Amino acid sequence: MTTIQTTGLTKRFGKDVTAVKNLDLQIEDGEIFGFLGPNGAGKSTTINLLLDFIRPTDGSAEVFGLDITEHSEQIRERTGVLPEGYAVYDHLTGREHVEWAIETKGVDDDPDRVLEEVGLAEAARRTAGGYSKGMSQRLALAIALVGDPDLLILDEPSSGLDPNGIQHMRELLRERAADGTTIFFSSHILGEVEAVSDRVGIMNGGELVAVDTLEGLREGVGGLATVELECASIPDSLTPKSMDGVVNSTVKDRRLRIECDSPREKADVIEYVNSHTDVRDVVSTGTSLEELFNTYTDGGRGGPTERDSAGSGGSQ
């Protein structure tokens, strides 16, 4: 079953700004979907459309099979939201926020348990005006979790959290997803998406430029498993390009940078280079998600890339 389905969803602000362009997106029940893209790519606009904060210029969307503008209240009965750019109520305590959310949702959660779940139990009785950014974020997450919703919509959930908090939140999301909750979250941080998502959608300039599993995205782009080696010398005889699975190799100073089409090839590549010369250091390795991201979004640097898969997300 499909939890979120958007069809040609478009949002223009004024005449010139198209924040979301012809978005077709389908998110299945129980999946963790990471909505990735640089700031201003249209992620929050999409979320605000789903929540009926703003109305589509064109196209439509359904959540739980209900139209987002017609049945917003019913949708939100079953949804937990961590909104963008929210502010807490300075004069209410953390616990009062959660009590209010429980009352509004008409459920009988224990506010203390919810607060404990997000690690805010100790500050529960303080007014939220004195909360740090991270504590406010935990509170917002607590409000989202009230009533064990079928869908969690989280806009930049890790912003303001320290590494511990981020780790804790990821675990929380995984637990919820394991219980069957669908999670739709946006982020401009790649590591976060990689750590928890089943599937990723990449937004850029209001368009969905790619949707796939991370594996699929890597394969689709190819050559993004890179390994950079510092060598004593680089003999001419060294021609890793001839190796299977190597897409490209470049030399800069004494650094050899090799792009493979899958991470599996990296060990072989290092071994091969080491047999020809003395590898002093493996400077960096990894399927550079960074590059994957840049490939799809142009990354704001290095100019446009002409990959087939980029820009196929439907334009005007």
Q: Which residues bind other proteins (CB under 8 A)?
A: 44-45, 48, 51-55, 72-74, 76-77, 79, 81, 83-89, 91-92, 96-97, 100-101, 103-105, 127, 140, 143, 153
In the bound state with other proteins, the residue whose beta carbon lies nearer, of 104 and 284, is 104
Minimum separation from the CB atom of position 156 to other proteins (A): 13
In the bound state with other proteins, the residue whose beta carbon lies nearer, of 153 and 269, is 153
In the bound state with other proteins, the residue whose beta carbon lies nearer, of 104 and 250, is 104
Minimum separation from the CB atom of position 43 to other proteins (A): 13
DSSP code of residue 73: H
CA 130, CA 126: separation in Å to the nearest integer?
8
Treating both helix axes as pointing N-terminal to C-terminal, what angle do 133-145 and 163-178 enclose, rounded to 10 degrees?
A: 10
Minimum separation from the CB atom of position 238 to other proteins (A): 55
CA 216, CA 196: separation in Å to the nearest integer?
15
In the bound state with other proteins, the residue whose beta carbon lies nearer, of 52 and 228, is 52
Extended beta strands in 43-90, E state: 58-63, 66-67, 79-82
Minimum separation from the CB atom of position 198 to other proteins (A): 24
Helix H or strand E segment including 174: helix 163-178
Minimum separation from the CB atom of position 141 to other proteins (A): 12
Q: Which of 313, 295, 305, 300 is nearest to 221 (CA)?
A: 295
In the bound state with other proteins, the residue whose beta carbon lies nearer, of 105 and 188, is 105
Which tokens is 83 given? Answer: 């909104």
